[in-house]
Amino acid sequence: MTDTLMTAADAGLLSCHSCSLLTEAQAGAHAEQHCPRCGSSLHMRKPNSLARTWALVIAAFICYIPANLLPMTAVTSLGNVQEDTIMSGVIYFLQHGDWPIGLVILLASIVVPLTKLFILIYLLISVQRKSQWRPLERTRLYRVTEAIGRWSMTDVYVVTILVALVRLGNLASIEAGIGAIFFGAVVVLTIIAALTFDPREIWDNMESTNDR
Amino acid sequence: MIETSNLIACHECDLLHRIPVRKGASCVSRCRRCNAILHRSVENSIDRTLALTLAGLMLFIVANSFPFLTFKMQGQETQTTLISGVVGLYDEGKWEIALLVVLTTVVVPLTQLLIQLYIYLPLKLNRIPWLMAPVFRLAGSLQPWSMMEVFLIGIIVALVKLLGMAQIVPGVALWSFALLIVTLAAAAANMDSRVVWDRVEYPR
């Protein structure tokens, strides 16, 4: 191929996010343009993506603190009540030899959300500093955050199932704790944060030096 | 003016590509700069998606009608379905989590299946469903919020967690769940969005 590298933005084209149709950007038009085929609103880049992603990442970090400090579950067994946080649940499994399950919860509830938040922060800073370092690898990092986020929901589902199954009053019952609400908020906020980040911004910084 | 109808821009790096000519066989085209998937073209996409959607709807009904786990302890037993789990959380006052769980495991997957039926059944009969473009767009934007496969991992973790405490019996719904997840993934992999978008009439 002898094509030069040209982006839709260079050509003055708006790419529809849901149906991929290319539409010419109307110069000077203040009204929002809509895709003629599917009706979604069109933008050159996701609007205010850096500010929005930062806001969501910071909100997720704030919710992550009570999510870890407050109990996820309160287990009543023969009249005794024991409250478990995410970390105490993991330690319980590791000590009782159920290490595969402990590992699953450790990955889903601690490793995945933190990895995702730190990758997003790195991507945000690198875009703001107009970094030209390894755009391909940074785009891959973005794909990782998009793919792994949903798996953090595991613990929320575990709590739901435990609450539904174990309800024999004082003999044995499990209640969801306040920590579970904050943890659910962390998962939702990080998924939205990954959706508002625009990976095309990583490549926009490259084009100023590309010999087109 | 540039002729745009045979071009596509990469969603992850904005690079323009010519839309590859459809060769009949299923294939994936990727961006030559960032390797993102530009498009997945699938042979017989309408037939395959429709078949998997119908199978998915049947499995969905079974998975939600029967208990997936039974918990037995000292002569007492409780059973749970997905809905009873959500209702339990709601009764405890944890409506935020109840809402999150019911949306991601019941409402979103069911809406997606119904939308697929609404779009692919008329297409199979060579008709265009009413409001096809906005309805299909809705299905696409729901995609990140369908989390049935994560729910299955949740069931497995809960099952192992309770094994030491009481007797746990997996129910028929558990197997339907597992099959439903495979079916949903297969339906998503066999959907060729261009087949739908190419049939939308719009002013050029």
pLDDT digits 0-9 by tens, B53-100: 999 999 999 999 998 888 888 788 888 888 888 888 888 888 999 999
DSSP letter string, B78-123:
EEE-HHHHHHHHHHTT-HHHHHHHHIIIIIHHHHHHHHHHHHHHHH
Q: Which whole-number Å values give the CA distances from B137 to A10, A32, B126, B133, B140, in the listed order?
A: 26, 18, 20, 6, 5
In chain A the first and final C-alpha atoms are separated, in Å, by 14
State the smallest CA–CA distance between residue B57 and chain A in angstroms. 22
- What is the dotted CATH code of the domain comprising A48-204? 1.20.140
Is this complex's ipTM strictly greater than 0.95? Answer: no
Distance CA B18, CA B95 (A): 49
Contact A16, B194 (CB under 8 A): no
Taking Cα atoms as reference points, which of A211, A186, A40 lies closest to residue B137?
A40
Give the contacts of A1 (CB within 8 A, at least 6 positions apart): B32
Q: Which of B71, B100, B204 sits opposite A165 (nearest CB)?
A: B71
Looking at chain A from residue 80 to 109, which residues have their Cβ under 8 Å from any Cβ of chain B? 93, 96, 98, 101, 104-105, 108
Judge whether residue B188 has pLDDT over 50.
yes
Can you give the pLDDT at residue A212?
41
Question: Across the 212 residues of chain A, what is the mean pLDDT of every consecutive 10-residue run?
Answer: 71 90 79 86 90 96 95 87 90 84 90 95 94 90 92 92 83 88 95 94 74 42
Calpha distance A83→B131 (Å, rounded)? 51
Shortest CB distance from A156 goes to which of B88, B97, B200? B97
Residue A42, SS3 per DSSP: coil
What are the residue ranges of CATH 1.20.140 in chain A? 48-204
Tell me, rounded to whole angstroms, the distance of Cα B154 from its chain centroid.
Answer: 18
Task: Find the mean pLDDT for residues B17-26.
Answer: 76
- pLDDT, residue B1, reads 53
DSSP-derived pairing of the beta strands A172-176 and A167-168: antiparallel
